[in-house]
Every structure is written in C-alpha cells, then in structure tokens.
C-alpha cells in the first residue's frame, strides 16, 4: 500500500529527503504536495521533483486531503506549531531534528500525537542507517565485547549559514550537529543514561554556541567524549571501543556507509550505495531508510517507531538541555520551562511561542 507524502518547507534537507524518497518503490511512496511560505519556491520545488501540487502556505498543505504523512523541515523554533497544525488535520509527522527546542517541547508534541492518534517521529536518520543498525547488533550481541568508550568529532565551517548565528531562528551548533554526537553515545551505550555530563564551549555575543567539547560519564568507568564545531573542519570520524575490539565509523560518521575494524583496518560492513546526484549533503540516499521506517510503522497502525522511539527523543533532548545549560545557551522557548538559575547569558527577548509561529507561517 502506498503512503502519500507532503513536504513542508523547501530547504536543502527537504530537497535531499524528497530525492531519497524518489529512489523507493513508487507503489509504496509518493510525494503529492509541497509547501513553502513563498509560492514561487514551492512551484520551483514541485517542478524539480515532479510534485503535482504546491502551496504558498503550510496551512493549505495541512488541509489537503490527499496528504497522509508530512515531512516537516521548517526552522527549528517553528517545529511545534507546524507539527501541531499537521496533526490537527490528521496527518502523520516525520519532524526534522531537533523535534523541539528542548525536552519540554518534545513532550508537548508527543502528548499531542497521542491525543490526535497519529504517528510522530523525530527524523534522526542515523538510527536507520544500515551501518548503525549493524553496529547496534554488534553491541547488543557483545560481538566486540562490552563497550567502554565512544568518541567522535564533528566539525564543518558553517559561519555562512545565517540562521546558525541567530538565536531567534534557533541558532547554535548543539541542536544542529551536536545532536548527532549524543545519538552516537545513545547507540553505543544503548539508551543508557549518563551519570555525569561535563561540557564547555564557545558562545557568541548573541548567546549561541559555535563549538563545544563534551564528556559523558557512565557507570563502571565507561565514557563518551566528543567535540563539535561550526568554525573548523575536523576528522568527522567516530569510534566505539569495547573489550574485544574497536569499531570505526568512517567519515562522515553521522551518515557513514562503512564500518571498519580499527585494529586491522578491515571493512566489516558497507552500506550499498544508491546513486543520488546533485544533493546538498553527503550520503543523502541514506535518508530513504527513515522514510521506509515511517511507512512500516503507519502500515502497522503504530504511533511511534521502536527504533527511534519517543523515549529516545526525550532522553537525547534531556542531555542536549544539560549541555546547553552548561554552555549558557538559553532560547526564548526555555524561559517558561527552565529554572531562573538556568537563564544566564540568555540575552533573550520575551518573544512568545505564538508570535514565533505566526512569523514562521
């Protein structure tokens, strides 16, 4: 049975996701509509990807009876209101990461999905990457022994990405790329909560973070360590060290297509490549696997995925909240949910969520 997609926003990741969707069986997936705040951009997107309908507002797409599931790729602060709009109209939602600006917003969306009885998932494509699935199997079966440490670096110069420097647009690097590092640790220690988190980094006068180093301590002397930056290039590799081996995730680790035995340099797993020309991001064909998961869940009548569950989203965002707290990054969305002691370095104006939503729409 086919599911019919609506693409909400026409940015770079939305284009790559749509291109990846079109590599799947057309009897199972079809993009039937796209929406942007600018009708001309929506029309251009529709022409590029042969989408039959295009809209100049997200509300029009939400009300389209042909759309069954939506991929929400709007700016981060608008995720809550846009996802709610889709769910109000009976649409299932795959929401680009981060699902919310903090754990509280994620809880709000999850409660809304339950009430609306629709599927909701955060689009963390790494979880569905066959390389990560294989890594998880190796860890859970203890094929490499017991995991003791996970490590990664993620650095790409991104000062030219305007939104990353603007707090009102959800700027900052922790929610943009640091989230991948936290997810790696979540996979390596399979959903275990760290006992201690230590984070430090660089903030701009605007109060957004451009780089950070984080250590997470787990029981029994186990740990994860990672550094991420939007200022410099880094190796962008990851490794998981266990008592009987070390597995390397080749660059780019967040969407790697190769697992390697670090001691022998032997390739132990490789994701079959699907040609996808003219994409904006590396290995974007891997986005197809999260789309397949959405369809499987919807076909089974599930409201959430067992691979990227609501609990997974909440656990990761709890860690992200703590990292941001230690760095001193406070968004307007945090003011009503955080303790007054957590509002240092905010520099925030009192803009409520409804105002931000109206601007986004």
Residues 122 and 159 in one domain: no
How far, in Å, CA of 314 to CA of 253, rounded? 22
| Structural domain includes residue 161 | yes
31, 12: one domain: yes
How many Cβ atoms are within 10 Å of 79's Cβ, its own excluded?
A: 27
What is the tens place of the pLDDT at every residue in 209-256? Answer: 999 999 999 999 999 999 999 999 999 999 999 999 999 999 999 999
Q: Is residue 230 included in any domain, yes or no? A: yes
Residue-wise pLDDT for 138-166, tens only, equals: 999 999 999 999 999 999 999 999 999 99
Q: Are 99 and 193 in the same domain?
A: no
Same domain, 139 and 251: yes
The last residue of a domain, from among 87, 103, 126: 126
Q: How many domains, in total, are found in the chain?
A: 2
pLDDT, tens digit, 9 for 90 and up, residues 59-92: 999 999 999 999 999 999 999 999 999 999 999 9
Is residue 204 one of the residues assigned to a domain?
yes
Same domain, 122 and 134: no
Would residue 221 count as lying in a domain? yes
Q: Count CB atoms within 10 A of the CB of residue 83.
A: 28
If asked whether residues 197 and 121 sit together in one domain, one would say no
| Residues 138, 85 share a domain | no
Q: Is residue 323 part of a domain?
A: no
Does residue 30 sit within a domain? yes
Question: Is 335 part of any domain?
Answer: no
Chosen domain end from 237, 270, 303: 270
Structure tokens at 199: 């984070």
pLDDT, residue 349, reads 32
Q: Indicate whether 35 and 135 sit together in one domain.
A: no
Could you tell me the residue range of the domain that residue 46 belongs to? 3-126
Q: Tell me the pLDDT tens digit for each residue of 282-335.
A: 999 999 999 999 999 999 999 999 999 999 999 999 999 999 999 999 999 998
Residue 8 lies in a domain: yes
CATH code of the domain containing 189: 3.30.360.10
Q: Are residues 92 and 162 in the same domain?
A: no
In terms of domains, do 168 and 219 share one?
Answer: yes
Q: Exposure pattern of 320-351 as b/e (b: 16+ CB <10 Å)? A: bbbbbbbbbbbbbbbbebbeeebeeebebeee
Task: Assign residue 39 the CATH number of its domain.
Answer: 3.40.50.720
Q: Which runs of consecutive H residues, i.e. helices, occur in 154-219?
A: 179-188
Residues 24 and 107 in one domain: yes
β-bridge mates for residue 217, sequence order: 196, 223
Structure token digits, residue 181: 């590092």
Query: Quick one: 57 and 184 in the same domain?
Result: no
Last residue of a domain, one of 241, 270, 299: 270
The answer to whether the beta carbons of residues 175 and 320 sit under 8 Å apart is yes
If pLDDT is split at 50, 70 and 90, which confidence band does 348 have?
very low
């Amino acid at each position: 049975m086919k599911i019919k997609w609506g693409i909400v926003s026409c940015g770079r990741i939305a284009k790559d996701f749509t291109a990846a969707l079109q590599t799947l069986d057309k009897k199972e997936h079809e993009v039937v509509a796209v929406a942007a705040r600018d009708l001309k951009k929506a029309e251009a997107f529709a022409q590029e990807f042969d989408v039959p309908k295009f809209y100049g507002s997200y509300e029009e797409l939400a009300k389209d009876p042909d759309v069954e599931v939506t991929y929400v790729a709007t700016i981060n602060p608008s995720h809550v209101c846009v996802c709610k709009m889709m769910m109000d109209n009976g649409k299932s939602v795959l929401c680009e990461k981060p699902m919310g600006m903090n754990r509280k917003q994620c809880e709000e969306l999850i409660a809304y999905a339950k009430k609306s009885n629709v599927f909701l998932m955060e689009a963390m494509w790494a979880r569905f990457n066959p390389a990560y699935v294989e890594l998880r199997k190796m860890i859970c079966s203890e094929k490499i022994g017991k995991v003791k440490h996970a490590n990664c670096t993620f650095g790409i110069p991104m000062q030219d990405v305007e939104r990353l420097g603007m707090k009102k647009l959800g700027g900052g690097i922790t929610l943009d790329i640091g989230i991948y590092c936290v997810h790696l640790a979540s996979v390596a220690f399979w959903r275990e909560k760290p006992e201690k988190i230590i984070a430090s980094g660089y903030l701009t006068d605007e109060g957004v973070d451009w780089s950070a180093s984080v250590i997470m301590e787990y029981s029994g002397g186990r740990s994860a360590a990672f550094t991420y930056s939007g200022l410099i290039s880094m190796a962008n590799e990851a490794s998981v060290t266990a008592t009987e081996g070390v597995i390397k995730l080749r660059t780019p680790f967040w969407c790697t297509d190769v697992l390697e035995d670090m001691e022998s340099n032997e390739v132990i797993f490789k994701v079959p490549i699907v040609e996808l020309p003219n994409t904006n991001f590396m290995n974007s064909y891997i986005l197809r696997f999260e789309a397949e998961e959405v369809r499987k869940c919807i076909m089974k009548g599930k409201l959430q995925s067992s691979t990227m569950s609501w609990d997974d989203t909440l656990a990761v965002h709890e860690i992200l909240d703590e990292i941001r707290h230690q760095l001193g990054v406070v968004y307007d969305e945090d003011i009503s949910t955080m303790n007054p002691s957590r509002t240092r370095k905010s520099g925030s104006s009192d803009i409520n969520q409804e105002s931000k939503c109206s601007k986004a729409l």
